Each structure stands twice: as structure tokens, then as C-alpha cells.
Amino acid sequence: MKTSRRDFIANAGAAAAAMHDLAHAQEPEHEHDHSVVPSDPALRVKSLESLLVEKGLVDPAALDTLIDAYERKIGPRNGAQVVARAWVDPAYKKRLLANGTAAIAEFGFRGWGGDYLVVVENTPQVHNLIVCTLCSCYPWAVLGLPPVWYKSAAYRSRAVIDPRGVLREFGLELPEDVEIHVHDSTAELRYLVLPERPAGSEKLTEEELAALVTRDAMIGVANVALPPGVRA
Amino acid sequence: MNGVHDMGGMQDMGPVQRENNEPVFHAPWEGRVFALAQAMFAWRKWNIDATRYEQEIIPPAEYLRMSYYERWLAYVTGLLVKRELVTPAEIESGRPAAGSPKATPPVTAETVPQMLAQGKSVDRNVPVAARFKARQRVRARNINPTGHTRLPRYARGKLGTVERDHGVFVFPDTNAHFLGEKPQHLYSVRFAARELWGDAAAPRDAVYVNLWDDHLEPA
């Protein structure tokens, strides 16, 4: 990600200028000194927050709580628990595939980025892959906020036209007779892939299984594997 | 709008670049703008579709150059002004206009968990007849609206099969422009990869797209 970080910093100034022009398109008569506009997004966000707090539009403590929720609480460990439960409990798996939202709410995972959850099951015949070609829709309630690659032009453009090429870059080569189902998240439905349970994991507990389930496997760009040595 | 945001099927965007042990936010300001956007949503002055459209109207070269959270900063700023919660002069100065009233934030630290659990419901319990049913063959309409649409370009004019009717949902194409929710049935439509991309695609691969009644016609 070094390249994109560099680009990001180099381009922050241009972006700031564009924002500035946008604001001014609304108010063409206004005259001012362009040199006072901060070019760094960090400064612009700070200025915006201070304005919104002073106007009584946001509570800064609410912002702290929101950030903490997504940095510490709402992440892929949520989804991993759901997957492990489905692997060990056939009745739960049935409920999960029939109504993902309700079955996932049994864990208390619901709400933003999880109002309508659809779970799609990988089998020896079918491999599922999740994308949002139009923006960045992602099942926040079970996976947290998406990684940068999921939101990138490279992934959004190619996942639908060249899913096998994308999976190969992730180190996943699928046989030709496995059907790939790509799910483009164009509505408020959010998809979670139920990966195949790895062979040889029969003796593992639900908790041990959950520890094997990765974010990437629940997006569909990886399978779940037993680490060497954990072989039961 | 046939904008650069509608990326499905574009080529030459380079390899997917992954980052190991990626943090949730790469800089504190990213977390702040994320949280500001979520907290401002509670004012109900806009909807999720409007937040997407506001990013789609970023000029294409800028859209591609900006990072994800820079686009969030652009949309929050744009909607704050358009929905008249702040003025451009206030954005510029970072200070409230003299004599402007002070509001009370609708979300506090205590009510954040409740807000997150409540979610953003966009299904509607209204009696609207479904125009299509499961297993029906349909064609995605060939439309090129200049405003917001959730019908991606790559699916337009293509033949598919309704896999599932998800019930009645808000229609983003009008809602994004504050022109009403126009609730209607939402479906999962399966398009064969070869229908979308030609004979070079794997014969049994498929793309599933969520589309609404207004996006489809009988085939």
C-alpha cells in the first residue's frame, strides 16, 4: 500500500482545491484569499468538526464512541463466530441460510451495515465472491469496515469481469468446474460468504474453528485452511 | 449517471494491492470524518442514496485520485451545504456565522449503541405488487439516466433470471434526489457471465445483481 499512501499525500492538495471550488460554486459572488485554505485533509476535517461542534450539530464524545466501536468492537471476529456456529450446528446453518439477518441477530450483530444480511454458502461446486462495483457496500455488522483493497478501483472493476484472475492474485486457483457466483452489492442487502469447513477440522471446538476463519474467506477471496500442525 | 464510479467491467486499473495487518483507519482524521458522517446522518436531512450520489458527482479525475475518506469528506461537506445545515462561508472559516442558533446534537455518546443497533431501515411495509417472480426471465432496461441509479452499466440490456424477490424497498434512483421513496420490489437477478462478457467467460460463472422493478422488463 506504499504507492497509494504516497499518491494520497501528493494529491491531498489537489483534492482540497477541488473541495474549495465546489464550495464556491454555491456562492459565486464571494471574494476571499485562496492562500488561507488548508490543503491537508486532516486540517479540513478538524476545521469541519470544530464548526459542527460549535453549531451544536454533533457531540464530539459521540464521535469518539463511534470510532471506538469500529476500531475495537465491530470487526471480522463477529462474522467468524457466525461461520463457526454454522459449521458445528446444522440447525443454525439452516436458519442462517434461510434468513441471515435473523440468524445473525441471535449473536446480537445487527444494525448499520447489517440490516439485511444474506449468507451465501461455498460448496465443492460453487464459490461465492462479494463486491460492490458502484461504491463500497460491505457487511459492517459482521466484518467491520472494509479494507482499502475492497474499495479500490482495481477490485471493484475486475471482480465482476475477471473473478478468476482476481482470486489468482489472492492465491486462490479454482478448478474450471467450480462455478463462481459474484454478488454485486447494489442494494442495502449485505452479503457474507459461508466458507467450506476445512477437511481435518472435525475435532476442533467451535471457538477453535472461529479462530481459523479470516475476513478474506468471508468476502470470498480466500478459503479457510488448517494451519500446519493444527491438523487434527 | 455513466460516471467513473460505475466501475464494474472496466480494465487496466492495475492489480489489487493488499496491506497486511491493515488498521481500521490509516490516520486519525479518517476516523473523525467517518464518525462525523455517521453522526450527521442522525439529523435525517439526507439519506444513504444521497450520500452515494454526492460522491458520484465528484469530477472523474478527482474521484479516482481521492482516497476513500477524502470522498467522504467531500460528500459530507457537499450535503451540509446543499441541505442548508451550514453555509459555504462557515465551511471556509470553520466558525458559525455571527448570530446563528445553536442546535442540540441528536446523538450523544450514550445513544451511539442504540443508533448502531437500530440501523437504517429501507424496507417498506406497503402493498406494492411485484412485477416479476422467481425463475422469470427478465431484461435489465437499457437506461442511461444522468442522475443516480443502482443499475450498473455492465448489466443494462442484458438477459437474466430472477432468483429471489426480497420484498418492497426504497428505490434509490429517486430517493437520492429527494424525489420520494417510490417503494417497489427488489430482486436478486442472476446474469450468466457469458451474457455479460461474451464467450471468453467461464461457461457456468454468474453475477448476481440486486435490481428493482423499475430496472427490469419482461424478456
Task: Look up the CATH number of the domain holding residue B194.
Answer: 2.30.30.50
Q: What is the pLDDT of residue A20?
A: 43
**Chain A residues with CB inside 8 Å of B196's CB?**
160-161
Task: Look at residues A82, A219, A76 and name the one whose alpha carbon lies nearest to residue A144.
Answer: A76
Q: Are A103 and A85 in contact (CB under 8 A)?
A: no
Does the residue B45 lie in any domain? yes
- Chain B nearest C-alpha distance from A197 (Å): 22
Catalytic residue among A4, A47, A135, A157: A135
Same domain for A171 and A98: yes
Q: Which residue has the cell 430482486?
A: B187
CB contact under 8 A, B208 and A152: no
Cell numbers found for residue A225? 485452511
CB contact under 8 A, A57 and B85: yes
Put residue A87 in one of left, alpha, beta given phi > 0 → left and psi -120 to 50 → alpha.
alpha
Contact with chain A for residue B8, Cβ under 8 A: yes
For B87-103, the DSSP string reads -HHHHHHSSPPTTPPP-
Q: Are B216 and B138 in contact (CB under 8 A)?
A: yes
Cell numbers found for residue A6? 504516497
Contact with chain A for residue B97, Cβ under 8 A: no
Q: Which of B118, B145, B165 is the last residue of a domain?
A: B118
Does the residue B82 lie in any domain? yes
Contact with chain A for residue B62, Cβ under 8 A: yes
Put residue A100 in one of left, alpha, beta given phi > 0 → left and psi -120 to 50 → alpha.
alpha
Amino acid at A31: E
CB-count burial class (<10 Å; 0-12, 13-18, 19+) for A65: buried
Same domain for A147 and A32: no
Quick check: ipTM above 0.95? yes
Same domain for A51 and A6: yes
Q: What is the pLDDT of residue A229?
A: 73
Domain range for B180: 137-218
- Chain B nearest C-alpha distance from A54 (Å): 7
Same domain for B112 and B160: no
**Residue B66, number of CB atoms within 10 A of its CB:** 24
Q: pLDDT tens across B59-110, in order?
A: 999 999 999 999 999 999 999 999 999 999 999 999 999 999 999 999 999 9
Does the residue A68 lie in any domain? no
CB contact under 8 A, B103 and A57: yes
Q: Are A113 and A146 in contact (CB under 8 A)?
A: no
CB contact under 8 A, B211 and A186: yes
Catalytic residue among A4, A132, A152, A185: A132
- Chain B nearest C-alpha distance from A55 (Å): 5
Domain range for A30: 2-58
Contacts 24+ apart (CB under 8 A), A160-166: A160/A131, A160/A133, A160/A184, A160/B8, A160/B9, A160/B154, A160/B196, A160/B207, A161/B8, A161/B9, A161/B11, A161/B154, A161/B196, A161/B197, A161/B201, A163/A129, A163/B205, A164/B202, A164/B205, A166/A129, A166/A221, A166/B16
Catalytic residue among A4, A47, A50, A136: A136
* Residue from A77, A97, A158 to probe the interface with B (highest B Cβ count within 10 Å): A158
* Residue from A36, A137, A186 to probe the interface with B (highest B Cβ count within 10 Å): A186
Does the residue B12 lie in any domain? no
Q: What is the pLDDT of residue A22?
A: 44
CB contact under 8 A, B32 and A67: yes
Cβ-nearest to A184 among B10, B87, B208: B208
Catalytic residue among A4, A137, A152, A185: A137
Q: What is the pLDDT of residue A231?
A: 55
Amino acid at A215: R
3-state secondary structure of A202: coil
- Chain B nearest C-alpha distance from A232 (Å): 28
A-B Cβ pairs (cutoff 8 Å, strict): 303
Shortest CA distance from A120: residue in chain B:
B208
Q: What is the pLDDT of residue B134?
A: 97
Task: Provide the domain count of chain A.
Answer: 2
List of chain B residues with pLDDT < 70: none
pLDDT values of chain A reduced to their tens digit, one per residue, 232 residues: 344 443 443 344 444 444 444 444 444 444 444 444 446 999 999 999 999 999 999 999 999 999 999 999 999 999 999 999 999 999 999 999 999 999 999 999 999 889 999 999 999 999 999 999 999 999 999 999 999 999 999 999 999 999 999 999 999 999 999 999 999 999 999 999 999 999 999 999 999 999 999 999 999 999 999 988 765 5
Same domain for B114 and B155: no
Task: Look at residues A218, A220, A221 and name the one whose alpha carbon lies nearest to residue A87.
Answer: A218
Does the residue A14 lie in any domain? yes
Q: Which residue has the cell 445473525?
A: A104
Note if A152 is an active site residue: no
Task: Provide the domain count of chain B.
Answer: 2
Note if A135 is an active site residue: yes
**Chain B residues with CB inside 8 Å of A214's CB?**
none
**Residue B83, number of CB atoms within 10 A of its CB:** 14
Q: What is the pLDDT of residue A35?
A: 45
3-state secondary structure of B11: coil
Same domain for B114 and B164: no
